[in-house]
Amino acid sequence: MSLPLHLYKYERFTAQSLQNLKDQIIYFGSPLAFNDPYDCALSPRIKEPTDADVEKLRSHYLAKPETENGIRREFEKASPAVLRNMLLRTGQKTLDDMIKRFLSQRGVSCFSEKKDNLLMWSHYGDHCKGFCLQFSTLADPFHKIKKVRYTQDMPILDIVPILCGEDSDPVSDLYCTKAIDWAYEHEWRAIHSQAGTAYRYPSEALTGIYFGPDMSLTAIEIIALVLAGQNEHVQLWQGSRSKSNFSVEFQPMKYMSHLEAKRLGLLGTAGT
């Protein structure tokens, strides 16, 4: 799995998105606030433990000094079938508790590999009236970002590594597994330990902004003015609907303020 050179974040044109742009912030929202609670695999099937798995778990718990004597005797005497059922119940409860903690504590920010997908512009770019941020993945917080995996079937989770303490964060992988119907998003997810975190990224992380085909000139000018004061290196791109396929095409643009146009004697220009 190779990390793309750039990842993209679609935005609506709102006071909050402008404030985040000005403050150079990526917001990690709570998964509980996401639009569709079924867009990821937080109800996996649990793999039936094999006899070898059962004996591995028996040895693991017997070797733990903190295992109480009563429980230790149960592990020593229990048949593989009884122990298997016990471990399935314990594994399910452990997983349910981990999922609850993840949903209540962790923060998530979503990105895409694609900047020209018409569905993405419709769903997340305010029906082509919003904009799309281009980030260099060489900067934080992209070093630990996870690629979303798309699948037809719910994943099967092996509880043995969880109960043995070998997999401390299985929920992150589950949260980055979605139904195949969402594959058009080409999504990557950055996960933070604390929901509600406003992460301030370095100015060089933002390398481009793509304006939706239906974004107003006023909105474009406002964003261009914000960037002129702090991110002059950011390349601006004007979007238009492709005439040859169902996608959005972009042309580089250079913003020119009304005052600058007046100074250069270009009166009557639109300022772009």
pLDDT for 241 equals: 92
pLDDT for 170 equals: 85
Kindly state the average pLDDT of the residues 49-65.
89
pTM: 0.86
Distance CA 243, CA 221 (A): 26
* 94-125 per-position pLDDT tens digit: 888 998 899 889 999 999 999 999 999 999 99
Distance CA 19, CA 13 (A): 10
Tokens of 221: 């000018």
Distance CA 251, CA 210 (A): 9
pLDDT for 1 equals: 63
- Torsion angle, CA of 213/215/220/223, rounded to 10 degrees? -110
Kindly state the average pLDDT of the residues 191-214.
95
Confidence of residue 269 (pLDDT cuts 50, 70, 90): very low
* 130-149 per-position pLDDT tens digit: 999 999 999 888 988 999 99
**What 8-state DSSP symbol labels residue 160?**
H
Q: Give the range among 68-77, 102-111, 198-207 with minimum mean pLDDT.
A: 68-77
The b/e string for 77-105 (b: 16+ C-beta within 10 A; e otherwise) is ebeeeebbeebeeebeeebeebbeebbee
